[in-house]
Structure 1
Amino acid sequence: MRPDNDLRTIDGDVYVSPRYLAGTTGIGDPALAPLLDLGWELEHDDLDNCYVTAPDHRVRLGYLPEGEDDGLWRINAYEDPFGPPTWGVCFNDSCPTEFVRAFTTELAKAYEKGFAYLAAPDTRDSDHDPYLVVTPLIDRGWEFHKPEPGVFAIRPADRLASLEFTAGPLDPEGELTSRTARWHLWAGSSIDRPAWYATASTNTPVALLTAVTRCVSDPAPLPRWRVNTFSYSKRAQLIPILPPRPAVPTPLDVQRTAASRRPAALPTVSVPRWSTTSRPALPGPRR
């Protein structure tokens, strides 16, 4: 299934399906846009890392191509701007940019509603039920697995992606600085060497995570340049993006074309005719 996009605006030469095998676009602007559109402050450091901060300083995003590790995107929220993060999310440098944009788009919506973006999941409230996070995956055929005690996972049929939830207490600092977090989303054939990964700590709002799982499981493929697709993803389907088809001619176009091909009329030539006033013929020679 192809998305209904204008082929002239697509950045890529193939569609990748399933989309969780597409990899990053290498461009951060689309994921930054939802927050910048709200007027959040944008700053850069000497290494070209950029930082986006909410006006109330309660949410901070770092886009860190020159960071200390492969955590390209780090988003933290603070109940107290000078205290430890209430929750934190990380997307690594190979994660499809569309998934990050799904998160920042939902974050922008939550921010406009007030302190909803700081709300901790509460199973007593149906709007904060963690089960909502996996609902889009279940609806699209992903199945539950239990890879190890205390960890619950849900995976698609090809087993090339996984969302894992770890039960029990976790180290708050470790959740923000490592892959040992409450939620762990990754793609590839091995959790030890994933194609990409994303983590979310305890208390990350359910609505933000659900936006990501909805985007990850969307059956529509993603456009990519073939040379930038994952080398291991031979199991992905690569569909060539065809050039735009010529526009269907209108009746007026057909009429104009026909007129341009019609042969030009011959010029009118005046031919003299014989009349009684014509000059008589000269006498012929004598015999």
Structure 2
Amino acid sequence: MPTHDDLHTIDGDVYVSPRYLAGTTGIGDPALAPLLDLGWELENDDLGNAYVHAPDRKVRLGYLPEGEDDGLWRINAYSDPFGPPAWGLCFNDSCPTEFVTAFTTALAKAYEQGPTAYLATPKPGSTDRDPFLAAVPLINRGWQIDHPRWGVFAIHSPDGYAGLEFTTGRLNPQTELTTRDARWQLWAGTSIDRPAWYATASTDTPVALIKAVTECVSDPAPLPRWREETYSYVKGMAQLTPVIPPRSSAPTPLDVQRAAARRPAALPASSVPRWSTTSRPALPGPGR
């Protein structure tokens, strides 16, 4: 939970808890920033879609508000810039932007470490690529392991409104990149069939990158949103708590009135603090 002193920086008037029931902020800049800070190239098309390319063209990100489907964020990595993707990940248009930012932040760090961190094909028995590692943050925070159907392992949040599924066996590489039938699927809502939001990751997506997302999704701290924007949280399931504006250090007229009421009658009136144009103005409340 943010501290009282930090509330003036919060962009929202309510906190949404649990955070996986918060929706998108509708702003892509925070998730693009970690990659742009590394000098990745940004391009835009005439429709308003944005494309970010790594310097070696082996990782590409698309922010696609005018895309053909609800896949708002698509990130692909390539061993060969002219070949098929080595792995791909998708966040749909309702996914909380903070979760995308967690992924791009981890991706930026992995890119700086080199191809072995973000591109190497997992080796059999490699402990750092063990799929179970991606679920560790969830399990540590009380999520429950399930086996809903043959070939699928799942982990659900305590309230049942979010889950992570991992599919075993062989999958079609092209299908993984273009549908929800991927190796990994993270979702929130009343069911995986009709989720409020979802994210998918294909086979060979580095487990450390997926773990960065599950760590963020399961964080107990709430997310700030604007109450009037109904798409910004899952109504009826999310708990909303008002964001309290920071209190000014300067006395307000009400403070002066209260101080006067507490002042002993024998004290002269000049001892009462006064509000003047030279007093430090109150800090502004949270703004959009």
* TM-score, normalised relative to structure 2: 0.84
Partner of 1:51 in structure 2? Answer: 51
Residues 1:135 and 1:153: Cα distance change in structure 2 (over 3 Å): same
Partner of 2:238 in structure 1? Answer: 236
- The letter of the residue matching 1:22 is A
In the alignment of these two chains, the number of paired residues is 254
- What is the correspondence of 1:147-162 to structure 2 with a 5 Å cutoff? 147-162=148-163
What's the offset of the Cα at 1:19?
A: 0.2
Work out the CA distance in 2 between the residues paired with 1:3 and 1:188: 25
**Secondary structure at the counterpart of residue 226 of structure 1:** coil
- What is the correspondence of 1:5-16 to structure 2 with a 5 Å cutoff? 6-16=6-16
- 1:10-43 CA distances to partner (integer Å, 9 max, x unpaired)? 1110000000000100000000000000000000
Is the 2:22–2:234 Cα contact (8 Å) retained in structure 1? no
Is the 1:123–1:129 Cα contact (8 Å) retained in structure 2? no
What's the offset of the Cα at 1:248?
A: 7.3
Partner of 2:138 in structure 1? Answer: 137
Is the 1:142–1:157 Cα contact (8 Å) retained in structure 2? yes
2:270 to 262, 265, 275: 262
**Secondary structure at the counterpart of residue 88 of structure 1:** strand
- The letter of the residue matching 2:241 is I
Larger Rg: 1
- The letter of the residue matching 2:246 is P
- The letter of the residue matching 2:240 is L
Residues 1:218 and 1:136: Cα distance change in structure 2 (over 3 Å): same
What's the offset of the Cα at 1:119?
A: 2.1
What RMSD, in angstroms, separates the aligned Cα atoms of the two structures?
1.9
- The letter of the residue matching 2:249 is A
Is the 1:25–1:96 Cα contact (8 Å) retained in structure 2? yes
- 1:44-81 CA distances to partner (integer Å, 9 max, x unpaired)? 00101000000000000000000000000000000000
**Secondary structure at the counterpart of residue 166 of structure 2:** strand
Residues 1:122 and 1:130: Cα distance change in structure 2 (over 3 Å): farther
2:47 aligned with 1:42: no
**Secondary structure at the counterpart of residue 190 of structure 2:** coil
Work out the CA distance in 2 between the residues paired with 1:241 and 1:229: 17
Partner of 1:184 in structure 2? Answer: 185
What's the offset of the Cα at 1:124?
A: 1.6
**Secondary structure at the counterpart of residue 71 of structure 2:** coil
Partner of 2:220 in structure 1? Answer: 219
Work out the CA distance in 2 between the residues paired with 1:232 and 1:125: 38
- The letter of the residue matching 1:262 is S
Work out the CA distance in 2 between the residues paired with 1:122 and 1:227: 49
- The letter of the residue matching 1:30 is P
Is the 1:184–1:198 Cα contact (8 Å) retained in structure 2? yes
**Secondary structure at the counterpart of residue 138 of structure 1:** helix
- The letter of the residue matching 1:36 is L
Is the 2:87–2:205 Cα contact (8 Å) retained in structure 1? yes
Sequence identity (%)? 72
What's the offset of the Cα at 1:121?
A: 3.2
Work out the CA distance in 2 between the residues paired with 1:212 and 1:228: 24
**Secondary structure at the counterpart of residue 228 of structure 2:** helix
Partner of 1:85 in structure 2? Answer: 85
Residues 1:232 and 1:6: Cα distance change in structure 2 (over 3 Å): closer
What's the offset of the Cα at 1:193?
A: 1.3
Partner of 1:63 in structure 2? Answer: 63
Is the 2:21–2:234 Cα contact (8 Å) retained in structure 1? no
**Secondary structure at the counterpart of residue 174 of structure 1:** helix
Is the 1:122–1:129 Cα contact (8 Å) retained in structure 2? no
Is the 1:78–1:118 Cα contact (8 Å) retained in structure 2? yes
Is the 1:95–1:196 Cα contact (8 Å) retained in structure 2? yes
Is the 1:121–1:130 Cα contact (8 Å) retained in structure 2? no
Gaps of 5+ in 1: 250-260, 264-287
Work out the CA distance in 1 between the residues paired with 2:118 and 2:52: 16
Residues 1:167 and 1:79: Cα distance change in structure 2 (over 3 Å): same
- What is the correspondence of 1:162-177 to structure 2 with a 5 Å cutoff? 162-177=163-178
- The letter of the residue matching 2:245 is P
Work out the CA distance in 2 between the residues paired with 1:123 and 1:131: 14
Work out the CA distance in 2 between the residues paired with 1:130 and 1:113: 21
Partner of 2:106 in structure 1? Answer: 106
- The letter of the residue matching 1:101 is T
